[in-house]
Amino acid sequence: MNWITTEIKDRLAYITINRTEKRNALNEEVVLELLQALKDAENNHSVKVIILTGAGNTFCAGADLEYLKKLQGNSYEENLKDSMQLMELYKTIYTLSKIVIAQVNGHAIAGGCGLVTVCDFAFSVADANYGYTETRIGFIPAIVMTFLVRKIGEARAKELLLTGNVINAQHALTDGLINYIVEDETELTKKVYEFAQELCVNNSAQSIATTKKMLADIQNMSLSESLTYGAEMNAKARGSEDCKKGIDAFLNKKILKW
């Protein structure tokens, strides 16, 4: 069944989890379809920014608990294969060369909160709740923690992951989990579109892709290694066509639209 829909307009790919009867919960089929949709958008040259959202009034309620119950009868090897698929989904979003924006139209819980975590930006309606609630059902937030510690730091990540507390959008904003809060879904759609269009018009896709890659890479390097890496990438960027085009436009006071 097709749980994921994609709409492309104005250089934006809107990818929607469309499983409203389960509050857009994740199972194997949803994860695999979402992975494919993201890869298709990545390879589509008419797309510059990807927007991830949920149908109805929920962003994503996390893992389908009925699906998790079924998995309890699996072998370790079978469960590892399933876990690796979720890992691949998070990693794909995090490492895509294109910017991914979470358009959070409602609650984002457990695995759904994980999706928000790995996006580059997150816009939220004011009444959305967030939480990594896995420890409250005897499960663990095993895959998302790597990304959450990177995003908000260990102390705040510990508070969220170990308590399983559900927090409101303002708390999520303060913690650095999300970037912007708007009042309702109409305003959400408008603000995300405007923000995405600014990225499309004002920023080089090549520069965005390289910067995203470097941000992911440097966190595993020593200070010396990351600085050397930065110097090397800086030198390479100077010879790129986008850099030449951008500097020429700036010096000659041209209006440049990427």
Which CATH number is 20's domain given?
3.90.226.10
Based on the fold, state whether residues 97 and 163 are members of the same structural domain: yes
Q: Which candidate in 134, 154, 159, 187 is catalytic?
A: 134
DSSP β-ladder status, 49-54 and 12-17: parallel
For residue 44, give its domain range. Answer: 4-200
Phi, then psi, of 102 in degrees rounded to 5: -85, 120
44: left (phi over 0), alpha (psi -120 to 50) or beta: beta
What are the pLDDT digits (tens) for 126-170?
999 999 999 999 999 999 999 999 999 999 999 999 999 999 999
Based on the fold, state whether residues 41 and 113 are members of the same structural domain: yes
Q: What integer pLDDT is reported at residue 70 of this predicted model?
A: 81
The residue among 158, 184, 200 that closes a domain is 200
Count the alpha carbons within 13 Å of 97 in the hemisphere toward its beta carbon.
Answer: 15
Based on the fold, state whether residues 196 and 223 are members of the same structural domain: no
CA distances (Å), origin 255, targets 135, 194, 247 = 52, 19, 11
Based on the fold, state whether residues 246 and 126 are members of the same structural domain: no
Based on the fold, state whether residues 105 and 230 are members of the same structural domain: no
Q: Is residue 257 part of a domain?
A: no
Q: What integer pLDDT is reported at residue 187 of this predicted model?
A: 97
> Based on the structure, what is the number of domains in the chain?
2
Other beta carbons within 10 Å of 199: 20
Based on the fold, state whether residues 164 and 130 are members of the same structural domain: yes
Measuring CA to CA, which residue among 116, 130, 126, 124 is closest to residue 161? Answer: 130
What are the pLDDT digits (tens) for 160-218?
999 999 999 999 999 999 999 999 999 999 999 999 999 999 999 999 999 999 999 99
In the residue annotation, 77 being an active-site residue is answered as no
Based on the fold, state whether residues 46 and 125 are members of the same structural domain: yes
DSSP state of 257: -
The answer to whether 129 touches 168, Cβ cutoff 8 Å, is yes
Residue 48 has pLDDT above 80, yes or no: yes
Based on the fold, state whether residues 20 and 106 are members of the same structural domain: yes
Say how far apart CA 201 and CA 142 lie, in whole Å.
38
Based on the fold, state whether residues 224 and 113 are members of the same structural domain: no
One-letter amino acid for residue 175 of the chain: D
Say how far apart CA 172 and CA 128 lie, in whole Å.
10
Based on the fold, state whether residues 72 and 92 are members of the same structural domain: yes
* Percent of the chain scoring above 90 in pLDDT: 86
What are the pLDDT digits (tens) for 8-22?
999 999 999 999 999
Q: What integer pLDDT is reported at residue 13 of this predicted model?
A: 98
The answer to whether 70 touches 18, Cβ cutoff 8 Å, is no
Q: At 72, is the pLDDT very low, low, confident or very high (cuts 50, 70, 90)?
A: confident
Based on the fold, state whether residues 144 and 118 are members of the same structural domain: yes
Residue 104 has pLDDT above 70, yes or no: yes
Q: What integer pLDDT is reported at residue 250 of this predicted model?
A: 86
Q: Is residue 256 part of a domain?
A: no
The answer to whether 81 touches 33, Cβ cutoff 8 Å, is no
Based on the fold, state whether residues 62 and 158 are members of the same structural domain: yes
Average pLDDT over residues 32-55: 97
Q: Is residue 94 part of a domain?
A: yes
Residue 1 has pLDDT above 70, yes or no: no
The answer to whether 26 touches 86, Cβ cutoff 8 Å, is yes
Q: Is residue 122 part of a domain?
A: yes
Say how far apart CA 252 and CA 97 lie, in whole Å.
30
The answer to whether 14 touches 53, Cβ cutoff 8 Å, is yes
Q: Is residue 258 part of a domain?
A: no
